[in-house]
Amino acid sequence: MRALTLEVNGDRLETAAPDHWTLLEVLRYKLGLTGSKQGCDKGDCGACTVLVNGTPVLACLTLAAEAQGKEVTTIEGLRPLHLAAGGSGVDPVQDAFDRCGALQCGFCQPGMMLSARALLAKDPSPSREAIQKALSGNLCRCTGYTQILEAVETALAERTGSDTPRPAWTADHDHVREGSL
Ligand code: FES
Ligand code: FES
């Protein structure tokens, strides 16, 4: 066993785990932070994505000991960190995902939202291609990705005060409505 001191979501937490345990295992099975999902557990799906010093990392491929002395952010920390920074409600990325219907089963969402949060923190105005690239390591088996991209663009538009993009599904709605006239 190894004693571990981790900075998670602004809290300093002490625990102990076998030397070979990953950050994902410690988060989920020692600290009770089950928002980070254990999907493939081998670096393929991105469901385990957390932020380490603001950068997305795959927690299933990161030894817990490697995360000591660094700031770890999990999905559970997005809202409290947003509030601590003077915001209100949930983090704007979470809010946009909710309003855009960017989920079905939700399994990919913690990793998706953390990757999106990291992108918006470092790039003031990412293009759709940049958003796609930033989320390319996060796989979704349900949504088809369109609403996910629109959610990130919505959060971006609301931050910059530009027009909120119109969701793609409204075009289908218009088409049906026009056809019925
Ligand atoms: S659980 Fe880590 S990449 Fe799939
Ligand atoms: S919403 Fe089900 S995997 Fe993305």
Nearest CA to ligand 2 atom 3: 140
Cα 106 to middle of ligand 2, angstroms: 5
- Going from N- to C-terminal start, the domains of the chain cover 2-74, 77-168
The predicted pLDDT at position 166 comes to: 66
The predicted pLDDT at position 175 comes to: 55
The predicted pLDDT at position 156 comes to: 95
Could you say which ligand is closest to the alpha carbon of residue 139? 2
pLDDT band per the 50, 70, 90 thresholds, residue 181: very low
Residue 22 sits at the vertex; the CA angle it makes with 19 and 25, to the nearest 5 degrees, is 110
pLDDT tens profile 105-162: 999 999 999 999 999 999 999 999 999 999 999 999 998 899 999 999 999 999 877 7
Domain 2-74 and domain 77-168 have a common topology: no
pLDDT tens profile 10-42: 999 999 999 999 999 999 999 999 999 999 999
| 2-74 CATH pick, 3.40.50.300, 3.10.20.30, 3.40.228.10, 3.40.50.720 | 3.10.20.30
| Ligand 2 atom nearest to CA at 141 | 3
Angle between helices 92-99 and 146-160 (to 10 degrees): 130
The predicted pLDDT at position 14 comes to: 97
CA 92/CA 78 separation, integer angstroms: 9
* Beta carbon of 96 within 6 Å of any ligand 1 atom: no
CA 98/CA 169 separation, integer angstroms: 15
* Beta carbon of 105 within 6 Å of any ligand 2 atom: yes
* Whether the predicted pLDDT of 170 surpasses 70: no
Residue 9 sits at the vertex; the CA angle it makes with 7 and 12, to the nearest 5 degrees, is 30
* Whether the predicted pLDDT of 171 surpasses 90: no
User: How many other C-beta atoms can be found within 10 angstroms of the C-beta atom of residue 22?
Assistant: 22
Cα–Cα distances (Å) from 68 to 3, 10, 92, in that order, read 10, 13, 28
Helix locations, the chain, DSSP H? 23-29, 75-84, 92-99, 109-122, 128-134, 146-160, 169-179
Question: Which CATH superfamily, name and number, covers 77-168?
Answer: [2Fe-2S]-binding domain (1.10.150.120)
* Whether the predicted pLDDT of 174 surpasses 80: no
Could you say which ligand is closest to the alpha carbon of residue 103? 2
| Ligand 2 atom nearest to CA at 47 | 3
Q: What DSSP line would sit under 149-168, residue for residue?
A: HHHHHHHHHHHHTPPPPPPT
State pTM to two decimals.
0.91
Give the gyration radius of the chain's Cα atoms.
18
The predicted pLDDT at position 60 comes to: 98
Mean pLDDT of 40-50: 98
**String of b and e for 1-12 (b: at least 16 CB within 10 Å)?**
eeebebbbbeee
